[in-house]
Amino acid sequence: MATYGQTCARPMCIPPSYADLGKAARDIFNKGFGFGLVKLDVKTKSCSGVEFSTSGSSNTDTGKVTGTLETKYKWCEYGLTFTEKWNTDNTLGTEIAIEDQICQGLKLTFDTTFSPNTGKKSGKIKSSYKRECINLGCDVDFDFAGPAIHGSAVFGYEGWLAGYQMTFDSAKSKLTRNNFAVGYRTGDFQLHTNVNDGTEFGGSIYQKVCEDLDTSVNLAWTSGTNCTRFGIAAKYQLDPTASISMSGLGFARVALARVAHRSMV
């Protein structure tokens, strides 16, 4: 997590991507509440540098079991990363990324998926550029009807953040997403406000009260309705492997999470 100082001359003063704005507050509400779900994640790395990760989950209510397998190899000398993915829906994915080679801060990614059962194919070219005070992104989804272009930009200065996100559907020749966000971020405090398509308004506050306690407040409203959504959440780290999460107002949730770390090389 980047920490903002007094000026943007510091090398770590790189704002987050638009998708990560307000992420710290969202994580307090969303992570750790796995009711009715059993999940297992395993990661390991071979001597040759190939990373393997697998994830499986079982829904105790429906009995449905899902899983994913991912292999990743980094060719650091040329800034290349090769990733292969497979899931229990029998979808295969390949991703090739190159970073900091054409210019510092630029990452280009070619992502494809293929489903042998249905014959469905998809392709996406993703690009991102991160430097001091700026974080830009542009993705192109290829479709037979016409490509969709996703763009985003976030600017940061002395802790203040301003971002814009859009999606242009070439098949319909119109903007299908038009979002704005403004926020403020320091080491232990984050404020985030956003407007989505001119109809959805939201805001969140994240505060790290102490080393073991994180708190979050979330507020949302949709124009044309009189319904305002408001919530408070907190996460307390009991020890390095266990934490307790709570959220409420309108409903209440309490969850205890324990994580075991194992290293296999």
Q: Report how far apart, in Å, the C-alpha atoms of 155 and of each of 113, 138, 149, 185 are.
A: 32, 15, 20, 12
* pLDDT value of residue 7: 39
Average pLDDT score, the chain? 87
Residue 2, strand partner residues:
none
Q: In this predicted model, which residue has the larger pLDDT, 39 or 67?
A: 67
Structural domain includes residue 207: yes
Measured distance CA(122)–CA(168) in Å, rounded: 18
Structural domain includes residue 190: yes
Asked if residue 226 has pLDDT above 60, the reply is: yes
Measured distance CA(128)–CA(46) in Å, rounded: 29
Paired tokens of 9: 């001359």
Structural domain includes residue 34: yes
Q: In this predicted model, which residue has the larger pLDDT, 48 or 176?
A: 176
Structural domain includes residue 43: no
Please give the DSSP secondary-structure letter assigned to residue 101.
Answer: S
Structural domain includes residue 253: yes
- What is the bridge-based pairing of β-strands 51-59 and 160-169? unpaired
Tens of pLDDT, residues 137-181 = 999 998 777 899 999 999 999 999 999 999 999 988 899 999 999
Structural domain includes residue 120: no
Residue 62: partners with Cβ closer than 8 Å, 6 or more residues away: none
Structural domain span for residue 262: 21-38+53-59+186-265
Structural domain includes residue 235: yes
Q: Could you give the number of structural domains in the chain?
A: 1
Paired tokens of 19: 């998708």
* pLDDT value of residue 34: 67
Paired tokens of 185: 């971020």
- What is the bridge-based pairing of β-strands 121-131 and 80-87? unpaired
Please give the DSSP secondary-structure letter assigned to residue 16.
Answer: P
The DSSP annotation for 26-48 comes to: HHHHHTT--TTEEEEEEEEE-TT
Structural domain includes residue 227: yes
* pLDDT value of residue 257: 56
